Amino acid sequence: MSQQPTPPRQQRLPGRFVIGTRASPLAMAQAREFAGRLMQAHGWAQDELPLDAIVTTGDSIQNRSLAEAGGKGLFTKELDVAQLAGTIDFAVHSSKDLQTRLPDGLVVGGYLPREDARDVLISRGIARVADLPQGAVIGSASLRRQAMLRRSRPDLQVVLLRGNVARRMEKVASGEIDATLLALAGLRRLGLEDKASGILSIEESLPAVGQGAIGITIRADDAAAIAALAPVICRDTGFAVTAERAFLAEVDGSCRMPIAGHAVVTGDRVHLRGLLLSPDGSASAEGERHGSVTDAAKLGADLGRELRARAPAGIYDPA
Ligand SMILES: NCc1[nH]cc(CCC(=O)O)c1CC(=O)O
């Protein structure tokens, strides 16, 4: 559903771009953040940067897990089509939700500076997963979060929970479920950080590949878009997410497996951690790599191959 009429591509004014985004509150907040950074960097006015909010197939599926429904591409398909057609020039994505392989003709032009990548616990007053009562009901749609919870707290009842961030939080507040895990980044961008009951450490809940990083896709041949992005993109976030995404592409690429991967850049070094789990959390393979940021993609692929090769039974052949 494309709300605003947008000029055909050939009529694009020099320096004028249309930003495409999903229509969820979080996606809109991220698109506004990107627009704000572009306006500041270039001195553009708001009406020079129209936002085109597009409802994707993924947004309209609420009752099944994403893995069942067909994966990450469901959240980007309609945006990809609009972008290739030239209706939108930039598409703003949560890197976490971005397929490892983009459609031909589209590339990630860069990433905005990463927000905190950690997960948070949302509960009625309990700050730590370890302190949830025996048998508590905890909801998540993420295979990674489900498997990590089952591993650390096999007694919890882990149930499928979908819907946007606000709706998930309501289900905790109303008592329908006892707790859920969400990304701190999303809460911050929605101005809801004070609703977090506690923050999970990176060790406790290794984040998803790309978590906290906003990726901007462009048409591969759009030189004007590449130039416009240059002052707003973050090089270090790019190295970190490149390592993580190379890892993900090597271990699986679909989102049917619980996978976590997180890289941190310090100076010209990158440190990547990866984790594969069986759905019930009982089997796992984890590892890490340190190296130069210029080798980010290679480090990620190396770690992915290593973990795939030594994954115990139960990971690639779920019981
Ligand atoms: N899959 C939904 C999704 N995609 C990105 C974020 C959070 C923002 C981010 O990771 O940048 C969320 C919500 C969540 O996991 O709590």
Ligand 1 geometric centre to CA of 310 (Å): 29
Which atom of ligand 1 is least distant from the CA of 141? 1
Mutate to test the pocket of ligand 1, among 22, 24, 26 (most ligand atoms within 8 A of CB): 26
Give the mutation target among 95, 143, 165 for probing the ligand 1 site: most ligand atoms within 8 A of CB: 165
- The answer to whether residue 9 scores a pLDDT higher than 50 is no
Domain 119-199 in this protein, CATH class: alpha beta
User: Average pLDDT over the chain, rounded to whole?
Assistant: 91
The mean pLDDT of 234-243, rounded to a whole number, is 98
Domains of the chain by residue range: 9-112+212-233, 119-199, 241-309
- Which residues participate in catalysis according to the annotation? 97
Which pLDDT does position 74 carry in this prediction?
77
Topology of the domain covering 241-309: Double Stranded RNA Binding Domain (3.30.160)
Q: What pLDDT digit, counting tens, does each position of 61-109 carry?
A: 665 555 556 566 777 889 999 999 999 999 999 999 998 899 999 999 9
Q: Which residues pair with 137 in a beta bridge?
A: 157
pLDDT confidence of residue 63: 58
In ligand 1, the atom with minimum distance to the C-alpha of 181 is 16
Provide the pLDDT for residue 185.
98
For the stretch 108-158, pLDDT in tens is 999 999 999 999 999 999 999 999 999 999 999 999 999 999 999 999 999
CB 8 within 8 A of CB 17: no
Q: Please give the share of the chain, as a percent, with pLDDT higher than 70.
A: 90
Q: What is the pLDDT of residues 160-218, one digit of tens each?
A: 998 889 999 999 999 999 999 999 999 999 999 999 999 999 999 999 999 999 999 99
* C-beta 74 within 6 A of ligand 1: no
Tokens 């923050």 belong to 199
State the pairing for strand pair 19-22/179-183.
unpaired
| CA–CA separation, 257 and 128 (whole Å) | 25
Structure tokens at 254: 């679909």
Looking at the CA of residue 214, tell me the nearest atom of ligand 1: 11
Please tell me if the domain spanning 9-112+212-233 has the same topology as the one spanning 241-309. Answer: no
Q: Is pLDDT at 12 greater than 70 in this prediction? A: no
- 3-state secondary structure string across the chain: CCCCCCCCHHHCCCCCCCEEEECCHHHHHHHHHHHHHHHHHHCCCHHHCCEEEECCHHHHCCCCCHHHHCCHHHHCHHHHHHHHHCCCCEEEEEHHHCCCCCCCCEEEEEECCCCCCCEEEEECCCCCHHHCCCCCEEECCCHHHHHHHHHHCCCCEEECCCCCHHHHHHHHHCCCCCEEEEEHHHHHHCCCHHHCCEECCCCCCCCCCCCCCEEEEEECCCHHHHHHHHHHCCHHHHHHHHHHHHHHHHHCCCCCCCEEEEEEEECCEEEEEEEEECCCCCCEEEEEEEEEHHHHHHHHHHHHHHHHHCCCCCCCCCC
CATH level 3 topology of 9-112+212-233: D-Maltodextrin-Binding Protein; domain 2 (3.40.190)
186 lines ligand 1 (CB under 6 A): yes
Distance of CA 9 from the midpoint of ligand 1 (Å):
31
φ, ψ at 111 (rounded to 5°): -125, 145
pTM, two decimals, is: 0.91
Q: Ligand 1 within 6 A of 211 CB? A: yes
Assign 1 a pLDDT band (cuts: 50, 70, 90). Answer: very low
For residues 57 and 92, which has the higher predicted lDDT (pLDDT)?
92
Q: Hey, is 290 helix, strand or coil?
A: strand
